[in-house]
């Protein structure tokens, strides 16, 4: 079973994510960040804020990916070489298919060869650590934002226990 993603499906997903983006002034409104008095609101906050700010969180993730690529020159060079090689193979394959020892090499096999030869370059560039850094940093930023961004309906729910005396 193969998964076919058409250009139309991708465009619809991008449009739906654009519609889910909350204005950035509301997303970064520091007056909304509050530590709750009890631990019970954290779960509700996280779920509701992830639903509300899903589009913003995707932009945060892609921003961290871009930051990671731009601050790692060898990774940037590796990606450029890999994409450039794929472009050259695609253009050349459109003109005349590649033949090796009388046999035609398919485009998929040529892409596999490019991936095989660029794997050591990505290994040296630290692509694996960059991927896990982006995942970890995104997780921490998103969970912290979702946990500490207070909801509008939450202000009336938490009872004030300051006037109660204990014996």
pLDDT above 90: percentage of residues in the chain: 44
Reported as half-sphere exposure (CB side, CA atoms, 13 A), residue 130 has a value of 21
pLDDT of residue 76: 93
pLDDT digits (tens, 9 = 90+) for 142-156: 999 999 998 876 655
Q: Residue ranges of the alpha helices (H) in 34-161?
A: 41-52, 54-70, 73-95, 107-125, 127-148
Arithmetic mean of pLDDT, 98-104: 84
pLDDT of residue 157: 54
pLDDT of residue 144: 93
**pTM to 2 decimals?**
0.75
């Amino acid at each position: 079973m193969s998964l076919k993603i058409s250009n139309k499906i991708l465009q619809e997903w991008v449009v739906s994510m654009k519609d889910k983006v909350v204005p950035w002034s509301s997303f970064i409104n520091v007056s909304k960040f509050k530590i709750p008095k009890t631990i019970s609101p954290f779960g509700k906050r996280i779920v509701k804020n992830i639903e509300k700010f899903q589009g913003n969180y995707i932009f945060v993730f892609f921003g961290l990916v871009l930051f990671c690529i731009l601050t790692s020159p060898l990774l940037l060079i590796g990606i450029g070489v890999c994409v450039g090689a794929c472009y050259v193979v695609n253009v050349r394959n459109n003109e005349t298919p590649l033949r090796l020892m009388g046999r035609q090499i398919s485009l998929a096999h040529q892409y596999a060869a490019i991936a095989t030869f660029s794997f050591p370059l990505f290994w040296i560039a630290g692509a694996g650590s960059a991927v896990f850094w982006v995942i970890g940093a995104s997780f921490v930023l998103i969970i912290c934002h979702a946990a500490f961004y207070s909801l509008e309906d939450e202000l009336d729910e938490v009872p004030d226990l300051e006037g109660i005396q204990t014996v």
